[in-house]
Amino acid sequence: MSRDKAVARAEAHFDTGAFKADLARRVAIPTESQNPDRAADLARYVEEEMRPVLEAMGFTCEILHQPPGKGPFLYAERIEDPGLVTVLGYGHGDAIRGLDDAWKEGLSPWELVERDGLWYGRGTVDNKGQHSINIAGLRAVLEERGKLGFNAKYIIEMGEEVGSPGLRELCAAHREKFRADVLIASDGPRLSISRPTIFLGARGGYAMDIWIDAREGGHHSGNFGGLLANPGIELAHALACITGPKGEIRIPEWTPGTIPDSVKRVLAEIEVKADPGGPELDPWWGEPGMTMAEKVYGWSSFQILAFKCGNPEGPVNAVPPNAWARGQLRFVVGVDPQDILPALRRHLDAHGFERVQIAKARDEVFAATRLDPDHPWVHWAVDSITRTTGGKPAILPNLGGSLPNDIFAEILELPTIWVPHSYPGCSQHAPNEHMPAAIAREGLAIMAGLYWDLGEAQTPPAAAS
């Protein structure tokens, strides 16, 4: 019985093809949470696929709905001794729409296909593959040690891709049930395909609609050009005042003002560069004077996700009646999400764009979170991963994207450690989503090592959480 043997068990689970078979079965369930016709598949994933797996590992499972009639959430727990350290795991079994017709020839979102060391299929990285790796790592430790040596709890939700409706309420209603010492979960990408990574929180996400309704109907551009304001031009100028020409944010309330020293220190060790197959990066874009790592992990960024004016598919000779854009702010700790929209209103008015209307685009707003890089659980996780892989993982103070991490950090008051099993070029949310087989195998080893170490006496004391 040893740590090395537990890690070897996890690697053997990959080498025999058993892990790939498990993931293929899960990918085949079309869990599109954005598609109301898939409600039965969402329930099937947790009830028929994941629940039996966890129950076979000695977990007590229940399906929770919050609010009643919504969900489902799978909650599982294995309590070996109330005095032991308790870890909460999290994953989501829902996926975005398959976009079936847009995949490469011979590929399907609902079939796991391997090509050139890449496993294609919807959910391979977001998030079926990632929580499958973690659960398999738990099982490797359980089989090798005969017990976990700690208490484990797990939540699998089926609505993350539509904003995690009900998750906040679920955790608030079951704070005692979900109580733990640390969250260890997996989502999002590594820093790069070759470097194991941990991140300690997430940037917040705030989507907004920005538009001008000038009048009813279009009017002939020859007869009325120069007489009627063009909402497309007007809105373009309004959007241009939000950032500089290179993307630097011009609304002070949308940035943290400064980057904390502990965050700057860990980011100084991070080199952000393009992965093979990924887009070429633009080092001239974003906040001037910052490193690439600081721009994406330590600062805020604003994007225009869509812009519509007139009829793009068939332009006509008319001054359009309206124009609309969807904006998105990714923000870090230090930005007040309650002031994002009011600050935009003040900024637009100060620049003469009173006619521009704004509104929050969706009810759910992801808050920004960040565990201090000097927290004892961070040092523990880094040491464990280093021991398994032989190299220090990249430490990101927060993910560049957004996750419902604030629910765990603020409602459940947990230190949060995320260990991603993906990479930036994985085509997450796009056709041809894929997981590199090498990351899957290494991820299994990493998680088996982490879970083994949770059962040892060297974990941070509960007081540290």
H-only helix segments in 146-214: 167-173
Burial group, residue 394, by CB count within 10 angstroms (0-12, 13-18, 19+) = buried
Closest CA to 72 of 97, 96, 51, 100: 51
Q: What percent of the chain is modeled with pLDDT above 90?
A: 92
Q: Give the model's pLDDT for residue 66.
A: 86
| Residue 349 pLDDT greater than 80, yes or no | yes
Decide if 269 contacts 292 (C-beta within 8 A): no
C-alpha distances out from residue 277 to 67, 280, 358, 427, Å = 42, 9, 37, 10
Decide if 117 contacts 438 (C-beta within 8 A): yes
What's the gap between Cα 41 and its chain centre?
22
Closest CA to 360 of 220, 163, 201: 163
Q: What is the pLDDT of residues 196-233, one digit of tens each?
A: 999 999 999 999 999 999 999 999 999 999 999 999 99
| Residue 459, token pair as written in the block | 């974990």
Where do the structural domains in the chain lie, given as residue ranges? 3-202+368-464, 204-256+300-360
CA–CA gap between residue 287 and residue 465 (Å, rounded): 34
Decide if 76 contacts 119 (C-beta within 8 A): no
Q: What is the pLDDT of residues 142-162, one digit of tens each?
A: 999 999 999 999 999 999 998
Q: What is the pLDDT of residues 77-130, one digit of tens each?
A: 999 999 999 999 999 999 999 999 999 999 999 999 999 999 999 999 999 999
**Size of the chain in residues:** 465
Q: 204-256+300-360: which CATH topology?
A: Alpha-Beta Plaits (3.30.70)
Q: What is the pLDDT of residues 324-339, one digit of tens each?
A: 999 999 999 999 999 9
CA–CA gap between residue 54 and residue 76 (Å, rounded): 7
Rg of the chain over all Cα atoms, to the nearest angstrom:
24
Give, in degrees to the nearest 5, the angle at Cα 462 between 65 and 178.
5
| Residue 261, token pair as written in the block | 């020293």
| Residue 463 pLDDT greater than 60, yes or no | no
DSSP secondary structure letter of residue 152: E
| Residue 142, token pair as written in the block | 């359980």
CA–CA gap between residue 38 and residue 110 (Å, rounded): 13
Closest CA to 298 of 339, 328, 269: 269
Task: Give me the residue label for tokens 């796991």.
Answer: 112
Closest CA to 148 of 459, 453, 465: 453
Q: Give the model's pLDDT for residue 465.
A: 40
CA–CA gap between residue 375 and residue 312 (Å, rounded): 51
Decide if 155 contacts 73 (C-beta within 8 A): yes
Closest CA to 251 of 242, 262, 263: 242
Q: Give the model's pLDDT for residue 462.
A: 61
pTM > 0.95: yes or no: no
Q: Which residue has the higher pLDDT, 433 or 66?
A: 433
pLDDT class of 434 with cuts at 50, 70, 90: very high
Q: 3-202+368-464: which CATH topology?
A: Aminopeptidase (3.40.630)
CA–CA gap between residue 7 and residue 161 (Å, rounded): 32
Return the H-helix or E-strand segment holding 306: strand 301-309
3-state secondary structure of 343: helix
pLDDT class of 68 with cuts at 50, 70, 90: confident
Q: Give the model's pLDDT for residue 229.
A: 97
Return the H-helix or E-strand segment holding 385: helix 376-389
